[in-house]
Amino acid sequence: MSRKHFSWLLIITLVVAAAVLLVPGKTGREAGVEKTALLPDLQLRVNDLDQVRFVGAGDAVIATLRRAGDHWQVEELHGYRADWDRLRALLADLAQAEVVEAKTAKPEYYDRLGVEDVSAASASGVRVEFSEASGVPAVIIGKRAQGREGRYARVQGATASALLDRDLDLPAAREDWLEKTIVDIADAEAVEFDIRHADGERIVARKASADDENFVLQDIPAGRTVRSAWAVDALAGSLSALNLEAVAPASEIDWNEAVRFGLVTADGLRLDVELVQRAPAEDGVAAEGQQAAAEHWIRLQAGLYQTAVDSAVEVADAAGEPAEDAPAEAVGAPADATERAAEINGRVTGWAYRIPEHKYESMTRRMEDLLQVPDQPGT
């Protein structure tokens, strides 16, 4: 993310502000009210922000988002990438937010609107703090208005609270500030996948042609048949919309007994995933009388699919000799696959991700899961 991104945010802000002037007037208490900006300095100084912090009840830090080069990161979650789109939208809303009605200035009534000081253990609001160097004051975002549009807020240190002209997307959980997408490889892109278990069992399925509709399961045991084409084909979508639930340094997890899932796309991209199941964390949440569910973690890397011909070319190149019978199109990989692999590795290298159980199960199937139950003698 560059300063240019922030500049575009400001341009959008000005366009939206201008558009508001063209909207027909409101009725009721808002009619004729002169709106004022909640944080007038934010529009002017948004480019200078390098940190935004969210603080909840008892002054507990929900998340600290800090700019790091071309992206933002969540400081309390190992410095992993923050959801820039979400942060950008919030900053735009805060920069554009206008006060449509002044509310109570009596501290004893603040809690009714959720704008009491968040140092109180019972506070329901969230204090948003900006880089100290920006000079933008902190603001407490309170409850949503009932029966009308808007949200209550109070600038830190001010006595008067206010009703804003909009709601705000303000996550309450630290993990909700993470960039959730790990990878998103559509099943239509896949031409081959394989699963390798620690005990040696291996599953391989591939398409004879990228245009084929179904995958063909390889090495089916004699006398057995596939449960259904869908049972096999569905595994090709394992990396589609693969989102994280939590993140940790990969070095913190034991990968010795990992299941390995690999997937190849039509353009030559290969993804290799290691998967482990772990006991739940000590702070895992479970229903009363039940144990917390096991956690499912992965790490992955991207590369380029290498055929036997590609290997021959590499060996020949190393020896300074031409590879025999190597077609020109087999040498090298498509530029887009190379770029995709580099982009993925730039984000995921060194990280482990907790993923949903159904995604874990999809990438750790056994051959028996994909086959028809054999007929029993006498049936």
Q: How many other CB atoms sit within 10 Å of the CB of residue 146? A: 5
pTM of the model: 0.81
Question: If you average pLDDT over residues 40-53, what whole number do you get?
Answer: 92
Query: Who has greater pLDDT, 81 or 314?
Result: 81
Tokens of 252: 């913190």
Q: How many helices (H) and strands (E) does the chain have?
A: 8, 20
d(CA 98, CA 38) in angstroms, rounded, equals: 5
Identity at 326, one-letter amino acid code: A
Count of CA atoms in the C-beta half-sphere (13 A) of 14: 7
Query: pLDDT > 70: what percent of the chain?
Result: 81
pLDDT of residue 302: 98
Confidence check: pLDDT of 263 > 70 = yes
Rg over CA atoms, the chain: 27
d(CA 112, CA 135) in angstroms, rounded, equals: 29
Identity at 149, one-letter amino acid code: E
Write the pLDDT tens digit of every residue in 62-80. Answer: 999 999 999 999 999 999 9
d(CA 50, CA 37) in angstroms, rounded, equals: 22
CA dist 286 → 64, 174, 281, 291, 299 (Å): 27, 19, 11, 6, 25
Residue 48 banded pLDDT, cuts 50, 70, 90: confident
> Which H, E and C letters describe 85-116, residue by residue?
HHHHHHHHHHHHCEEEEECCCCHHHHHHHCCC
Question: If you average pLDDT over residues 210-233, what whole number do you get?
Answer: 96
Mean pLDDT of the chain: 87
pLDDT of residue 23: 37
Question: If you average pLDDT over residues 349-372, what whole number do you get?
Answer: 98
pLDDT of residue 351: 99
Q: How many other CB atoms sit within 10 Å of the CB of residue 299? A: 22
Write the pLDDT tens digit of every residue in 284-334. Answer: 555 455 667 899 999 999 999 976 435 444 545 555 554 444 333 334 557
d(CA 288, CA 250) in angstroms, rounded, equals: 31
Question: Are the C-beta atoms of 163 and 30 separated by less than 8 Å?
Answer: no
pLDDT of residue 74: 98
Residue 110 banded pLDDT, cuts 50, 70, 90: very high
Phi-psi region of 287 (alpha: psi -120 to 50; beta: other; left: phi over 0): beta
Locus of tokens 């991209």: 269
Query: Which residues make beta-bridge pairs with 296?
Result: 277
Confidence check: pLDDT of 5 > 60 = no
Q: Spell out the residues 6+ positions from residue 275 whose beta carbon is closer than 8 angstroms to its own.
A: 258, 259, 260, 261, 296, 297, 298, 360, 363, 364
Q: So where are the chain's domains?
A: 3-177, 181-370
